[in-house]
Structure 1
Amino acid sequence: MTTAASPTSPPVEPPRHGLTPGTARAALSYPKFRLVFIGLALSQIGTWMQNVTLPAYIQDRTGRPALVGVAIAVQLGPLLLFSIPAGALADKVSKQKLMLWMQSISVVLTLGTAYLVAKDASIWWIFFVQAGIGTANALNAPAFQASMPLLVHRSDLPGAISLNSAMINGTRVMGPVGAAVLGAIGLSIPWIFVINAGTYLFFIAALILVVMPDVKADTMVQGWRRLGVGITIARNRLVLNRLLIGMFSFSLISLIHVGLFPSVAELNFGIEAKSPGYRWLYAAWGFGAFFGAISVGTFLSRFHRRVLIVRGFTGFAIALGVFSQLRDSTTPYFVGFVLGFFYFMTATAITTSLQLNMKDGERASVMPLWFMVFGGTVPIGNLIGGVLFEIIGVRAVLGAGAVWALFLAWWLDLRRQPPESFLTEAEGGEAPVNP
Structure 2
Amino acid sequence: MDVRPLRVPAYRRLWTSTVVTAIGSQLTAVAVPKQVYDLTGSSGFVGLTGAVALVPLLVFGIWGGAIADVMDRRKLLLITNTGIAVSSVLLWAQAATGVHSVWVVLVLLGLQQSFFAINMPTRSAVIARLVPTELIPAAAALGSTVFTFGAVMGPLLAGALLPVLGLSTLYLIDSVALVLALWVIWLLPPLPPLSGVVRRAGLRDVLDGFRYLVTQKVLLASYLADIIAMVAGMPRALFPEMAERTFGDPPGGGVALGWLYAAIPLGAMLCGLSSGWISRITRHGAGVIVAVLVWGLAVLGFGLANSVWLAVVFLAVAGAADMVSAIYRTAILQTAAEDDMRGRMQGVFTVVVAGGPRLADVAHGWTAAAAGTTVAAAGGGILVIVLTIAWVVVIPVFWRYRAVPSDAEPVS
Q: TM-score range by the shorter chain?
A: 0.7 to 0.9
Query: TM-score, structure 1 length as denominator?
Result: 0.77
Alpha-carbon spacing, 1:147–1:249, altered in 2? closer, same or farther (3 Å): same
- Greater mean alpha carbon deviation, residues 381-390 or residues 232-241: 381-390
Aligned identity (percent) is: 21
Residues 293, 385 of structure 2: 8 Å contact kept: yes
Is the CA contact (8 Å cut-off) linking 1:317 and 1:402 kept in structure 2?
Answer: yes
Structure 2 partner of 1:215: 193
Aligned partner of residue 214 in structure 1, secondary structure: coil
Question: Is the deviation greater in 122-131 or in 201-210?
Answer: 122-131
1:147 match: 126
The aligned counterpart of 1:8 is none
Q: Which residue of 2 aligns with 1:246?
A: 225
Show the 5 A alignment for 1:22-171. 24-52=2-30, 54-55=32-33, 64=43, 68-114=46-92, 121=100, 123-171=102-150
SS at match of 1:93: coil
Task: State the SS of the aligned residue for 2:165.
Answer: coil
CA distance in 2, matches of 1:294, 1:143: 25
After TM superposition, the structure 1 = structure 2 runs for residues 319-358 of structure 1, keeping only pairs within 5 Å, are 319-326=298-305, 329-358=308-337
* Contact 1:24 1:298 (C-alpha < 8 Å) held by counterparts: yes
Uncovered stretches (5+) of structure 1, i.e. residues with no partner: 1-22, 430-435
1:80 positional shift = 1.5
Query: Is structure 2 residue 157 aligned with structure 1 residue 178?
Result: yes
Counterpart CA distance in 2 for 1:97 and 1:221 is: 13
Contact 1:147 1:212 in 2 (8 A): no
Which amino acid is the alignment partner of residue 131 of structure 2? V
Deviation at 1:305, TM superposition (A): 2.4
Query: Which amino acid in 1 is paired with 2:65?
Result: G
Total equivalences in the alignment: 403
CA-CA distance at 1:351 after TM superposition? 2.0
1:19 aligned partner: none
**Does 1:366 pair with 2:345?**
yes
- Are residues 222 and 350 of structure 1, via their aligned partners in 2, closer, same or farther at CA, if it must alter by over 3 Å? closer
What is the alpha-carbon distance in structure 2 between the residues aligned to residue 390 and residue 132 of structure 1?
35
Deviates more, 1:116-125 or 1:141-150: 116-125
| Distance (Å, rounded) in 2 between the aligned partners of 1:36 and 1:418 | 33
User: Secondary structure of the residue that 2:3 maps to in structure 1?
Assistant: helix
Cα pair distance change 1:187/1:328, threshold 3 Å: farther
User: How many Å apart are 1:250 and its aligned residue?
Assistant: 3.2
Over 3 Å counting, the alpha-carbon distance change for 1:222 and 1:36 in structure 2 is: closer
Structure 1 residue 134, shift from structure 2 partner: 1.4
Letter in 2 for 1:88: A
Q: Where is the helix percentage greater, Structure 1 or Structure 2?
A: 2
Report how far residue 138 of structure 1 moved. 0.9
Deviation, 1:190, is 3.4
* C-alpha RMSD over aligned residues: 3.9
Deviation per CA, 1:175-209: give whole Å up to 9, x if none. Answer: 1332243247x233332232222221232121112
- Report what 1:9 is aligned to: none
Q: For structure 2, which runs of at least 5 residues remain unmatched after alignment?
A: none
User: Partner amino acid for 1:162?
Assistant: A
Code of the aligned partner of 1:172: A
The answer as to 2:296 corresponding to 1:317 is yes
Of 127-136 and 38-47, deviating more is 127-136
1:97–1:390: structure 2 CA closer, same or farther, 3 Å change rule?
farther
**179, 183, 197: which is aligned to 1:205?**
183
In structure 2, the CA distance between the partners of 1:305 and 1:294, relative to structure 1 (3 Å rule), is farther
| 1:152 Cα deviation from its structure 2 partner | 0.9
Moved more, 286-295 or 381-390: 381-390
**Is the 8 Å Cα contact of residues 228 and 384 (structure 2) preserved in structure 1?**
no
Give how far 1:268 is off: 5.7
Shift of 1:356: 2.1
Distance 1:199 1:222, change over 3 A: closer
Give the structure 2 partner of residue 189 of structure 1: 167
Amino acid at match of 1:98: L
Which residue, out of 346, 354, 359, partners 1:375? 354
Give CA-to-partner distance per residue, 1:19-63, whole Å, 9 cap, x none. Answer: xxxx83221211221122122112111112333554577679757
